[in-house]
Amino acid sequence: MTTNAQALIDRLKAGEARTAVIGLGYVGLPLLVEFARAGYEAVGFDVDARKVEQLNRGESYIQDVASRDVAEFSRAGRLRATTDIAELARADTVDICVPTPLRKTKDPDLSYVVAAVESIAGYLRAGQLVVLESTTYPGTTEEVVQPILERGGLRAGRDFFLAFSPERVDPGNTQWTTRTIPKVVGGFDEASTQVAVTLYSRCVDRVVPVSSMKVAEMVKLLENTFRAVNIGMVNELALMCHNLGVDVWEVIEAAKTKPFGFMPFYPGPGLGGHCIPIDPFYLSWKAKQYGFESRFIELAGHVNSSMPRYVVERIAEALNTVGKPVKGSRIHLFGMAYKPDVGDLRESPALDIARMLQQRGASVGYSDPYVPVVEEGDLRLSAVPEAEALGRGLDCAVIATHHRVFDYPAIATRAPLIVDSRNALKGHQGTHIFRL
């Protein structure tokens, strides 16, 4: 154990370390709050001045983070936010929690990561720990992050410490949070791993060290690829069951009574969120660099990405039963977020459904208590209260996101046609209800 490593471990154990988080979104802000709760001095960095101002007023803009916690830790001097990247020079640890989207060509876009790392490199000093949490392909921390940080002459493992620890945030989940979800950590070397484990051990219930940064990177991709492939399989099964005249939801409910060897996954209008629709393509892209074709991943991606179009076709089928075309019909989406009980629009399939319906000439509206306004590309919509929407004389209601706050009995009885892509109307019957 080097002197630098032991000194940092001692500061972390004593709660005297200064922690920094770059990127204050769904991953970074909850982590920043947990660092402050653990007694660290926590400073968050973001390019969005509005977020910084809001946090420094003691207000949270993320559902999973309580404003009272932000206010309490701010008053105690343990939490603050800034746009001034120069303050990184004072930090003992730096966590990178910036987006890693895909380009239109399905190639990884690491521009946010590179920008963050270059900012850190300008203020890097001996004895600091840098941890990448942004999801990416195996090898990124070693091949991209490390060389940038070492440009100034400092060396990983000798002068500073480097690790990868995949974020596992599930927005809206009150049981599994930043604190309760086990934290996987893989360091550049043994000292880096030990320092990173010490950092997280004060604010996470269980830390799981692995042998390398590349293993830690692969862990996250396995988790989300597992989900994407299985969802793709059950989505394809839903299409098959529709053609066979079989209720796919009944099939799944019966299958999941098997006490071993089966894990239920459910079909839907498509994948959303920042992870599951994107992460498998990071793995697929990396595999191609080694001449390996990821057939399961590519096929699952194709099936999942086709689901919004399939939902639109089901809407057209439903309207056709009453002699109406999509063009000119008043179609209302219940739910715009990608998952229930959150306001997260990232990659939401409801956005694609709304766009395709508008392109076909439909008059599209939506209700979502968590998403007051939609301004995504050419899509510009404002939410309508649920009761008001049902009283406007809709032609077809589409349940795109199964928020618990929706009055499903009212939707089932008041909407003349319903396309239920989430089985939210389980138990409700009628020839006007069309399920996925």
Active-site annotation, residues? 275
Q: Which residue has the tokens 């309508």?
A: 384
Q: Strands 183-187 and 207-210: what pairing?
A: parallel
Number of residues written out for the chain: 436
User: Is 94:22 a contact under the CB 8 Å cutoff?
Assistant: yes
Dist. CA 92–CA 130, nearest whole Å: 9
State which H helix or E strand residue 163 sits in.
strand 161-164
Contacts of 394 (CB under 8 A, 6+ apart): 330, 331, 332, 415, 416
Dist. CA 320–CA 69, nearest whole Å: 52
Cβ neighbours, 10 Å, residue 289 = 9
Dist. CA 17–CA 31, nearest whole Å: 15
> What is the DSSP annotation of 236-276?
HHHHHHHHHT--HHHHHHHHTTSSSS-------S---SSST
AA identity, residue 90: R
User: Is 193:208 a contact under the CB 8 Å cutoff?
Assistant: no
Cβ neighbours, 10 Å, residue 380 = 9
Instruction: Show the tokens assigned to 229.
Output: 């492939």
Which residues lie across from 186 on neighbouring strands? 164, 210
Dist. CA 302–CA 232, nearest whole Å: 8
* Conformation bin of residue 139: beta by default, left when phi > 0, alpha when psi is -120 to 50: left
